[in-house]
Structure 1
Amino acid sequence: MLSFSRTRSPGRNTSPLAGGMDYLEPKRKSNVLGRLILIVSLTALCITMLKNAPSFTSPTSFSRSQEGVTHVLVTGGAGYIGSHAALRLLKDSYRVTIVDNLSRGNLGAVKVLQGLFPEAGRLQFIYADLGDAKAVILHIPKILLYEVDKIFSENAFDAVMHFAAVAYVGESTLDPLKYYHNITSNTLVVLEAVARHKVKKFIYSSTCATYGEPDKMPIVEVTPQVPINPYGKAKKMAEDMILDFSKNSDMAVMILRYFNVIGSDPEGRLGEAPKPELREHGRISGACFDAARGVIPGLQVKGTDYKTGDGTCVRDYIDVTDLVDAHVKALEKAKPRNVGIYNVGTGKGRSVKEFVEACKKATGVDIQVDFLPRRPGDYAEVYSDPAKILRDLNWSARFTNLQESLEVAWKWQKSHPHGYASS
């Protein structure tokens, strides 16, 4: 028969009642209890810190509705047209949130607006992308929706003005997928957020490019939409989505199809400053100014054999000040469960040659002009019939002198030779 004795270890209880199990002494119990208290305390501290983090802050003026104040989200608000729209809204006492990824827009424009309206609760800027291809590549598309949805969940928007988009016809023919993603897909993301958060009004920045090359002029809102380039096609797809959604929604919708935008803020605070790498795709006004400043050797006019008076394309040039005025009128007149579609133009077509001559006079520079073959995706003649927008919204273009609009824009260009970096 084997026999053995158990050695008594310090801190152990070897009572027969132990049943072979060791029990902790009271001192050990107190140590564990202390640790538990410490863990609970640290957890409580972490929760408190999280609650005090930015995403848990108490409601701000942007995150809550305020009677008598309309909060407008301006997507692409750092861009040429979007920044001018934000300026007008702020002047009219709207509350404005700008969302922009700055791929085409300028932080300098936002800083100008912040300097003009520094009061709390007037303007905020959110650096964000409405669409990110990397999210799709990583197979986590919910990140994209979450980021946009987060913007909407943390802000009480009464209306959205959706300007954010790439917008060069020539570039769209070279990189069509960029345009379908940036315009059509991103508009869907915004529209889904608008629907989830029950935003009351949606103003969509569209284009006459959705009409393509109609058989007769001027263009009216019921002119068939047969776009001939990816830019126009992408915009029409976005319009179709908006119209289909609106059939079963209480949201008020306005779609503004505008023509060729020129000019700048009459008081010289904002202007057009495209990225240098985009000059070759930019508006004709930007090319004229670059030629007048010597940034490029001359102006290239593409296409002189169109069936127009002088062989060059004919366009309807609308001053940006008039354009943003139309957006504000649309915002004011938008009605629940209704869709308004309007052309925004002067109703008068001007040829490219006429435009160049006006630019020469506005800048005082005899710009060298080279005439080249047509550019893919262009159309011969496009100008609007603005009768409907006059009748419904009491809007008509006021700044219709082409040379004067270019003079205003040229003044800003001269004082900002390096864009907003000159400010």
Structure 2
Amino acid sequence: MDYVDSKRKSNICGKILFAAGITTLCIIFLKQSPDFSTPSQFSRQQAGVTHVLVTGGAGYIGSHAALRLLKDSYRVTIVDNLSRGNLGAVKVLQELFPEPGRLQFIHADLGDAKAVNKIFAENAFDAVMHFAAVAYVGESTLDPLRYYHNITSNTLVVIKAMASHGVKTLIYSSTCATYGEPEKMPITEGTPQAPINPYGKAKKMSEDIILDFSKTSEMAVMILRYFNVIGSDPEGRLGEAPRPELREQGRISGACFDAALGVIPGLKIRGTDYNTADGTCVRDYIDVTDLVDAHVKALAHAKPSKVGIYNVGTGKGRSVKEFVEACKKATGVEIKVEYLSRRPGDYAEVYSDPSKIKLELNWTARYTDIQESLQIAWRWQKSHRNGYGSP
């Protein structure tokens, strides 16, 4: 009996030692893993490093902003649900900036308050650039609830998370659509806001939420109202790649390129009876490189308890017909043009007075030749016929 008991005890001890050995090996292996134990550089403040959360950073404008921030040595976290953004754009940024602590991507939906709160709890953000939004005027008239949820409700979630976790700088991506169709041109920041489509209304509601909250907090706020964005990264690393099903809702530049590539048979111009010189809509086209430069300057000038509101445009309006002619020259393709009735929610003439942003932030649009901007974007489109190749 003593021999049997001794053997049993020996077996038990052996199993314990074996289990302990396996456990030790697992711990050693996990500690060597980059995802284990040591606090992430993104989770702590670092002297001399500004950590910016870029919502919608997989999208057209957001990815270009992330690129500029990374080039300027900011630490960047991109949050995107990829409903409109492209994982391919994130991969390009990751390949350009592979160093630890430079860039991280988090797949999450800003409508999920629990997930957003977790992201803020686990990361030490210094500022937020809030780009994430659905952004097509025509689509907003067809599906208004989607726009109020995605833009207004989600912005409220972000602001609440910022308040809860002490993040006190916000650069907000707004739009000239909040002005509607003003009686006088050019549009200044003091022009009354009277949006005429759900996209503009949802953005204005978001602005109102931000402004009301800023009165009761020390938040530094910069609201940038964009005009019509064109162009792409001059070095050809990033471009615009909307979902195929959204091509008809997208920017005129994308439609021009699709027509030039033969993706669509021609270009459809909606509205030729507006009260403008040639009957087509007049818009202020701002190059995306200039636009992200305005964001970086806004971030540098943001001050606690202060609100800055700025138009970001060139100050010059061009008609749709002028734009199409510039696109034909940029692509070298004689694009077929079909003229149709007006698109719901559009307005005749919109261009900015950018004097305030020049005076206060020392920002001026530099890429004002629309044909040149289109040529740069066209080079990317020709070499990326399938966009980034994956959603």
Same fold (TM over 0.5): yes
Q: Runs of 4 or more off by more than 6 Å in structure 1?
A: 51-56
Distance in 2, matches of 1:113 and 1:222, equals 37
Structure 1 residue 414 corresponds to structure 2 residue 382: yes
Structure 1 residue 289 corresponds to structure 2 residue 257: yes
Shift of residue 54 of structure 1?
A: 9.8
Structure 1 residue 177 corresponds to structure 2 residue 157: no
**Partner-residue secondary structure (3-state), 2:77:** strand
Q: 2:279 aligns with which of 305, 308, 311?
A: 311
Q: 1:105 aligns with which of 85, 102, 106?
A: 85
Distance in 2, matches of 1:199 and 1:385, equals 31
Higher relative contact order (CA 8 A, sep 6+): 2
TM-score by length of 2: 0.91
Structure 1 residue 389 corresponds to structure 2 residue 357: yes
Taking a change above 3 Å as real, the CA distance of residues 400 and 326 of structure 1, as seen in their structure-2 partners, is same
Shift of residue 114 of structure 1?
A: 0.4
Distance in 2, matches of 1:180 and 1:280, equals 21
Shift of residue 337 of structure 1?
A: 0.3
Structure 1 residues 51-200: aligned runs within 5 Å: 57-131=37-111, 144-200=112-168
**Partner-residue secondary structure (3-state), 2:153:** helix
Residue 125 of structure 1 aligns with an amino acid whose one-letter code is F
Distance in 2, matches of 1:306 and 1:170, equals 17
Structure 1 residue 365 corresponds to structure 2 residue 345: no
**Partner-residue secondary structure (3-state), 2:128:** strand
Match of 1:5 in 2: none
**Partner-residue secondary structure (3-state), 2:242:** coil
Distance in 2, matches of 1:145 and 1:114, equals 27
Residue 127 of structure 1 aligns with an amino acid whose one-letter code is H
Shift of residue 259 of structure 1?
A: 0.3
Q: 1:331 aligns with which of 299, 302, 317?
A: 299
Q: 1:341 aligns with which of 309, 318, 322?
A: 309
**Partner-residue secondary structure (3-state), 1:59:** coil
**Partner-residue secondary structure (3-state), 1:420:** coil
**Partner-residue secondary structure (3-state), 1:357:** helix
Shift of residue 251 of structure 1?
A: 1.1
Q: 1:255 aligns with which of 216, 223, 229?
A: 223
**Partner-residue secondary structure (3-state), 2:388:** helix
Distance in 2, matches of 1:226 and 1:304, equals 24
Distance in 2, matches of 1:55 and 1:147, equals 19
Match of 1:6 in 2: none
**Partner-residue secondary structure (3-state), 1:264:** coil
Taking a change above 3 Å as real, the CA distance of residues 116 and 412 of structure 1, as seen in their structure-2 partners, is same
Q: How many residues align?
A: 369
**Partner-residue secondary structure (3-state), 1:205:** strand
TM-score by length of 1: 0.84
Match of 1:227 in 2: 195
Distance in 2, matches of 1:96 and 1:235, equals 24
Distance in 1, matches of 2:206 and 2:168, equals 19
Residue 314 of structure 1 aligns with an amino acid whose one-letter code is V
Match of 1:237 in 2: 205
Structure 1 unpaired stretches of 5+: 1-26, 28-33, 132-143
Match of 2:8 in 1: none
Distance in 2, matches of 1:125 and 1:90, equals 13
Shift of residue 55 of structure 1?
A: 9.3
Shift of residue 92 of structure 1?
A: 0.2
Shift of residue 146 of structure 1?
A: 1.6
Match of 1:267 in 2: 235
Distance in 2, matches of 1:114 and 1:55, equals 17
**Partner-residue secondary structure (3-state), 1:62:** helix
Structure 2 unpaired stretches of 5+: 6-11
Shift of residue 60 of structure 1?
A: 1.3
Shift of residue 200 of structure 1?
A: 2.2
Shift of residue 56 of structure 1?
A: 7.9
Match of 1:215 in 2: 183
**Partner-residue secondary structure (3-state), 1:278:** helix
Residue 225 of structure 1 aligns with an amino acid whose one-letter code is Q
Match of 1:21 in 2: none
Match of 1:376 in 2: 344
**Partner-residue secondary structure (3-state), 1:185:** helix
Shift of residue 274 of structure 1?
A: 0.3
**Partner-residue secondary structure (3-state), 2:248:** helix
Distance in 2, matches of 1:309 and 1:191, equals 43
Distance in 1, matches of 2:340 and 2:107, equals 40
Distance in 1, matches of 2:389 and 2:149, equals 30
RMSD (CA atoms): 2.0
Shift of residue 393 of structure 1?
A: 0.1
Shift of residue 243 of structure 1?
A: 0.1
